[in-house]
Amino acid sequence: MLAGRRIVLGITGGVAAYKAAYIARRLTEQGASVRVVMTPTATRFIGEATFAALTGFDPIVNLFGGDDPSPHTTLASWADVIVVAPATAATLAKLASGESSNALVATVLASTCPVVVAPAMHTEMWEHDATQENLTTLASRGYEIVRPESGELAGGDVGIGRLADPDTIIETITRVVASGPLAGVHVIVTAGGTREAIDPVRFIGNRSSGKMGNAIARVAAAQGASVTLVTAADDPDISGVVAVRVESADEMAEAVWSRLDTCDVAVMAAAVADFKPEKADTTKIKRTSGLPSIQLVPTPDVLQGVHESPNRPFLVGFAAETGTLEDAAAKAKRKGVDLLVANDVTSDGSGFGSDTNEVTFFYSDGTSKGLPLLDKDDVAKALWEEVHILRGAG
């Protein structure tokens, strides 16, 4: 659920700071991208090197002196969620009053994403009116508070104030990030046009840009799905989307078929070549060798393989037609899909590379529904709404 999600982990100066190392580790293990921002006091409890090793990135401690002139705004706009664990009474006060005197508070203040705060402090500090009022303020602003537990505290005291179980904090992050109508749904989307090699220089390709597939992946991730994008186009680097780059139909088939055991919905938006050269030359075919004749053989039908899999997910196919959609209903049946999204790629605003698309949904019972010309993101939203209804979740 966290794969591809972008998480800023804020660490403040309390003895529980060592537990943030476990949180960073578990988040990265689950495929999240983690960037750490520490208060100067936090570095007295745990070293920056620990987080650099765990996340692959140096933590930000100072607003000045690094390569980025504005690290707090960079991090803030990058993040899907910010989690502050442990959060001291001092940091809660700064967050509540908006006193952005360090990189951590500045990052939170510069962000618009959800914020999870896990306080940890001595019982008296936790119960103090100042702390409780600050927490009420933060909660009223929509911050998610993971309340501390009762237990042994620094110095051997016992009482409420111990940082919540790190796994509880991780569960909260997961819930906050992966919420929406597709939460818990594993999705595979194919995108782009495959390239079938003729020689190391040339290939047989098509005009697909991958934009429709990217939009479908982006909307699914925004609605909480775990998304794998198997793309023959460039990696679009979408938050929450794990991109697998492939080139040929064979590679796309392998990438998709090997992931079906954890797939609930497959959306095959790629323009897959139907034929490939029987044999790709290993060296460039020279002009002087004369006009080559290329023997073509069929490629695997990726969609067909998904349909026939014992792990068959809910299956959405695409049909790029030219001139008329009259074959699309028959194609929906022939391909065995639950939903076929057909478009006429020669009509205005629907061609390859365009930011808009005019599609018609064809259902397995032979009925259809036409949509107006829409942005590809809106087509993607309509598609997921349709999938939601057809899967019986709506």
Residues tagged active-site: 206
Residue 271 CB, shortest distance to ligand CTP, in Å, is 7
Nearest to ligand CTP of 246, 319 (CB atom): 319
- Residue number, nearest CB to ligand CTP: 302
Show the DSSP H helices in the chain as ranges: 19-29, 42-45, 48-55, 71-78, 89-97, 103-110, 123-127, 129-140, 166-177, 211-222, 249-257, 302-308, 328-335, 376-390
Residues 6+ positions from 68 with CB-CB distance below 8 Å:
74
Q: According to the binding rule CB under 6 A, does residue 249 interact with ligand CTP? A: yes
Q: According to the binding rule CB under 6 A, does residue 251 interact with ligand CTP? A: no
Stretch that binds ligand CTP, among 61-69, 214-222, 314-322, 378-386 (CB under 6 A): 314-322
Q: Which of 315, 319, 379, 387 binds ligand CTP (CB under 6 A)?
A: 319
Q: According to the binding rule CB under 6 A, does residue 318 interact with ligand CTP? A: yes
* CA-wise closest residue to 89 among 118, 110, 116: 118
Q: According to the binding rule CB under 6 A, does residue 199 interact with ligand CTP? A: no
Q: According to the binding rule CB under 6 A, does residue 210 interact with ligand CTP? A: no
Total interface residues for ligand CTP by CB under 6 A: 14
The token pair that represents 91 in the structure block: 């940091």
Q: According to the binding rule CB under 6 A, does residue 317 interact with ligand CTP? A: yes
Query: Which contiguous run of DSSP H or E holds residue 227?
Result: strand 226-231
Query: How many of the other CB atoms lie within 10 Å of CB of 77?
Result: 12
Query: How many of the other CB atoms lie within 10 Å of CB of 106?
Result: 22
Q: What is the largest CA-CA distance in the chain?
A: 87
Nearest to ligand CTP of 16, 303 (CB atom): 303
Nearest to ligand CTP of 301, 375 (CB atom): 301
Instruction: Let me know the angle formed at the C-alpha of 174 by 23 and 51, rounded to the nearest 5 degrees.
Output: 25
Stretch that binds ligand CTP, among 109-117, 124-132, 266-274, 286-294 (CB under 6 A): 266-274
Nearest to ligand CTP of 147, 369 (CB atom): 369
Q: According to the binding rule CB under 6 A, does residue 134 interact with ligand CTP? A: no
Amino acid at 40: P
Q: According to the binding rule CB under 6 A, does residue 115 interact with ligand CTP? A: no
Contact 57, 35 (CB under 8 A): yes
Residue 227 CB, shortest distance to ligand CTP, in Å, is 17
Residue 108 CB, shortest distance to ligand CTP, in Å, is 43
Q: According to the binding rule CB under 6 A, does residue 301 interact with ligand CTP? A: yes
Nearest to ligand CTP of 13, 213 (CB atom): 213
Q: According to the binding rule CB under 6 A, does residue 375 interact with ligand CTP? A: no
Nearest to ligand CTP of 18, 275 (CB atom): 275
Q: Which of 99, 264, 274, 358 binds ligand CTP (CB under 6 A)?
A: 274
- Interhelix angle for 376-390 vs 211-222, to 10°? 60
Burial 276-307 (b: 16+ CB within 10 A, else e): bbeeebeeebeeeeeeeebeeeebbbbbeebb
Whether the upstream peptide bond of residue 292 has omega within 30° of 0, thus cis, is no
Nearest to ligand CTP of 19, 195 (CB atom): 195
Q: According to the binding rule CB under 6 A, does residue 328 interact with ligand CTP? A: no
Q: Which of 36, 302, 325, 383 binds ligand CTP (CB under 6 A)?
A: 302
Residue 334 CB, shortest distance to ligand CTP, in Å, is 8
Query: What are 281-287's contacts with CB under 8 Å, separation 24+?
Result: 281/198, 281/199, 281/200, 282/199, 282/200, 283/199, 283/200, 284/199, 284/200, 284/201, 285/198, 285/199, 285/202
Binding site for ligand CTP (CB under 6 A): 190, 249, 268, 270, 272, 274, 299, 301-303, 317-320
